[in-house]
Structure 1
Amino acid sequence: MWQLIVEAPFAEDIELAVIDDEGVHSLIFPCQRIPAGWINAKTREILDVHPTHWRMWPTSNACAADARRGAKSS
């Protein structure tokens, strides 16, 4: 579930939704909030983004559990 950007945690891998020249979309890499703004959680590069909302970055364990649940319901 998407959350308000002002509620984004610091120093946790999260998924950001941003508005840019192409419209609204989510970034394809995990991001982290830092006091000065946002960074790419993998490369530690500072991002020049203006996110609108966020949600927790899916972990491999969560993805595997979702896949198992999907296989059971098929």
Structure 2
Amino acid sequence: MWKPISSAPFDRELELAVLDEDGEHALIFPCIKEREGWKNAATHARIDVHPTHWRDWVPDTIPANNHRSLTDSL
């Protein structure tokens, strides 16, 4: 179940939903919220994203090529 980004916890691996020039989709890598912004959980690199929703990251269950609309699961 997707939750509003305003409730995203800090220091935990999360799956993020973003809205960009390609439409709405889930990122294919886990992210961590920090006071300074978001980072890729695997590389620890900062990322410039503006997520709309989050849910707990569940390893190995997120398909790498997910073309479903997020509105199908919101």
Give the TM-score normalised by structure 1.
0.78
Please name the residue that 2:72 is paired with. none
Shift of 1:10: 0.4
Calculate the aligned-residue CA RMSD, in Å: 1.1
Uncovered stretches (5+) of structure 2, i.e. residues with no partner: 62-74
> Identity of aligned pairs, percent?
52
Q: Which aligned segments of 4 or more residues in structure 1 are displaced greater than 2 angstroms?
A: none
Is the counterpart of residue 26 in structure 1 residue 20 in structure 2? no
* Residue-pair matches, total: 61
Q: Which protein has the bigger helix share?
A: 1
1:42 aligned partner:
42
Partner of 2:55: 55
Greater radius of gyration (CA): 1
Any gaps of 5 or more consecutive residues in structure 1?
64-74
Q: Which residue of 1 aligns with 2:10?
A: 10
Q: Secondary structure at the match of 1:42?
A: coil
Q: Aligned-pair distance for 1:55?
A: 0.1
Q: Relative contact order (C-alpha < 8 Å, sep 6+): which is higher?
A: 2
Matched to 2:47, the amino acid is L
